Structure 1
């Protein structure tokens, strides 16, 4: 996306969907307690008790150039990083608050460095911005479902001035989309209960966002229903299932495909959690990516750097393994979409024009059945090295005359993670 200059919405969305694979980065003060990004809410931590992390924050090993090189090596095409999470701490130099990285021991605009580093690697750049703010005095506290002080009687009479908060966060979004050059994606998070749509001043905000960054892609979490035949103007450009992959491609009320992006963690937390070692394997990530593409979706995969600014070694190793697979098989992912065929029992299909990609997860017994493709395949090749895979109909396949069959010479698959066969259709 960063390398394109497209005017109309259809084209900029195509660039986004062609990219297919991105990196999410959740990072902030919560990396110090190291119990996940919701630690302040989950543990009802007061502002005073949480303040110690602000004065301690000093990511001495923060090097976004290393992060960018890792994302590129992993085969990712775009990245979205937290600029402000629910705790209200800003990684950028905002003139509207003192609660920011430049006032910590870091004394740096961490977002500025992030943007420059990822642009240098040719990746598209996105900003995550939380609509919630547990630090701001005008954000609802008592009775709010998520605020750390939701049950604290001392906040019962503190109603705040929500209109003043809306002006505050609109101003911050304007800063982000003015001070850092061209931005490809803005990822708002999130609406709930009555905190949705125009409660956020959504129409006004979206209008200003598109004025400042005409080519930007916006997610759906301001509210509104992207599946409606005529969505609200603040419904965004793509929808964002979280920690789940939809059972099928998403469509609107007219049956037209809508863009979507599954946001998935590598372990069980978004922000750094030192005790969480429940990492997904590279095989699981590769197959999740294939599943998303086979259903016309993207995958954005999260890393949570620690307090020193380091991406955990476990995450690095997994991403490098995924990147190795993509280096050999990326043609079956980038620019691909759901296929003309239903999901096969042995794996999944992705497709790009006349090229059908068979992602074989399970070898099974005998040749691999390609339902309905008899006489329709010009050639079959192992995608990773271009070697020929023969297509032969078994002598006893009289009941399967409409099917084609891939014949492997061994009982095991060439790649146990995902063996990809390029099928060029006639």
Structure 2
């Protein structure tokens, strides 16, 4: 029953792009709860904080193109090459990798990001230390394809090791901090070996036939992750992307994109996780889409499950349309973003919201505006989000339900045309205290209750309706 339910929970997603579906087709009945007490405690803490920031940032921001994927020789929309070098893949890759010599984000100011994220109510951050293109946003010793190399103009800046600066700035504001790291690396010859030019996102040779090459790549990956786990202070989350790098035994042939993986690509996750937790006790490891002991929480991408899910999960979603910086971004409204957070939390998830810095090291000003707008709602209604548990029926029509055990919260998600609450609403909650008291967050006035067949009818005075007009979500607090 449980496994069928979990498959259904992610099987009935909203319509999403094919690439995003890579992270929604997964069968979550294979989820394994951690046994390590420190990991269990950190996972519980992470589930309580609900709201985080993801940042995709690299040299690709100079061109305003999709992160890494234009390098990938696949005939898919997200891989499309554009510009003067598009006709020839070799020329394009050379020009793309030459962006290292012009990348100079002189407006880099992670403290401003951390302040804005804190004001928005975010409580953890995941930063892309390396995407699939292999360009390292940290001072690795394993390659010179990095922001701190002398070929990169920004290397002369005292804050050139941007990963260290970002994690430090957010840690100072009390955030849990995490490192995004791509398992595939399309720059190193141990993954895309020039002797066999790549045909797709996968390793370009058979690791079984060329084990020495694969061992070099596995060691390279291990060493880079060890650098991140030892030189960057306390790290809470290791967030691994590129789920096609996985052992053959974990490939699920019922999932369309996994059927296209041609080789076993086993980088020995037990060795990596063991090392990482030796340096960072209690570390959460998120080996995305590779079900099992190294996927401490699952990560549906750009969509929300349409059911409550009883396992730890996180929707990762863009604030605009793109993961990476584009000059003219189409940002979601604050109403949409707040309602997304409320929807996710009511189904037992966290929301990881992506904002992409530009080539100058700054966000779009509109991103800061959205943070302020979200923060304004959080300042009044945050108690219905943080440290809560979902409460059946979880989501019903315009309602979302959470509880702290001492108080129950019924959140009313406004329709686009609704500027004010209705004069009366019906609350359908299975367990209501016999002497229930209902207030609206943002107003101290107790509301008049009338018992009805389906629960309670709550009357809302006109003064309160006007006082709280224009909210993306109105939250009723029920105590007894």
Give yes or no for the alignment of 1:47 onto 2:106.
no
CA contact (8 A) 2:388 2:403 kept: yes
Q: What residue number does 1:271 align with?
A: 324
Aligned to 2:269: 202
Partner of 1:368: 425
Please tell me whether residue 386 in structure 1 is matched to residue 452 in structure 2: no
For residues 2-41 of structure 1, the aligned pairs below 5 Å read 8-37=38-67, 38-41=69-72
2:369 aligns to what?
A: 317
Q: Give the one of 313, 336, 340 matched to 2:388.
A: 336
**Correspondence 1:420 to 2:420:** no
Alignment partner, residue 84 of structure 1: 130
Q: From the superposition, tell whether residues 99 and 344 of structure 1 become closer, same or farther in structure 2 (CA, over 3 Å).
A: same
Aligned counterparts of 1:96 and 1:49: Cα–Cα separation in 2? 22
Contact in 2 for aligned 1:249/1:295 (Cα 8 Å): yes
Shift of 1:367: 2.3
CA distance in structure 2 between the partners assigned to 1:84 and 1:261 by the alignment: 21
Q: 1:89 to 1:318 in 2, by over 3 A?
A: same
Which whole-Å CA distance do the structure 2 matches of 1:58 and 1:160 have between them? 37
Count of aligned residue pairs for this structure pair:
392
1:376-395 deviation per Cα after TM superposition (whole angstroms, max 9, x unaligned): 452111112333222124xx
Relative distance call for 1:194 and 1:115 in structure 2 (3 A) is closer
Q: Distance in 1 between matches of 2:472 and 2:369?
A: 15
Kept after mapping to 2: 8 A contact 1:262/1:299: yes
> Distance in 1 between the 2:186 and 2:422 partners?
57
Q: 1 CA distance for matches of 2:188 and 2:245?
A: 20
Report the counterpart of residue 409 of structure 1 in structure 2: 461
Cα deviation 1:336-381 (Å, max 9, x = unaligned): 1211334333321121113111111247866211124566452111
Query: How far apart in 1 are the matches of 2:162 and 2:114?
Result: 14
Matched, 1:298 2:357: no
Relative distance call for 1:138 and 1:284 in structure 2 (3 A) is same
2:175 equivalent to 1:123 = yes
Match of 1:258 in 2: 311
Counterparts in 2 of 1:377 and 1:294: CA distance versus 1, 3 Å: farther
TM-score by length of 2: 0.76
Equivalent residues of 1:36, 1:270 under 8 A apart: yes
1:58–1:105 Cα contact (<8 Å) kept: yes
Residue 233, structure 1, aligned to residue 293, structure 2: yes
Match of residue 153 from structure 2: 105
Aligned to 2:379: 327
**Distance in 1 of aligned mates of 2:199 and 2:435:** 58
Query: CA offsets per residue over residues 257-304 of structure 1, 9 Å max, x none?
Result: 2110100001111110124x3211111110110011101100000000
Per-residue CA deviations over 1:221-241 (Å, capped at 9, x if unaligned) read 1x532xxxxxx332x211111
3-state DSSP class of the match of 2:389?
coil
Q: Could you tell me how far apart the structure 2 residues matched to 1:312 and 1:101 are?
A: 22
Q: 2:120 aligns with which of 74, 77, 85?
A: 74
Give, in whole Å, the separation in 2 of the partners of 1:260 and 1:139: 30
Q: Does the residue aligned with 1:330 lie in a helix, a strand or coil?
A: helix
| RMSD value, Cα | 2.5
The alignment status of 1:224 with 2:290, answered yes or no, reads yes
Give unmatched runs, 5+ long, in structure 2: 1-35, 73-78, 82-88, 205-209, 251-264
SS for the counterpart of 1:381 is strand
**Structure 1: gaps of 5 or more residues:** 1-5, 151-157, 226-231, 251-256, 394-399
Q: Does 2:403 align with 1:357?
A: no
State the TM-score, normalized to the length of structure 1. 0.85
User: Does the 8 A contact of 2:347 with 2:394 survive in 1?
Assistant: no
* Alignment-derived partner of residue 301 in structure 2: 242
Q: How far is the alpha carbon of 1:408 from its aligned partner?
A: 1.3
2:103 is aligned to: 57
Q: Distance in 2 between matches of 1:144 and 1:294?
A: 42
Contact persistence 2:39–2:283 (CA under 8 A): no
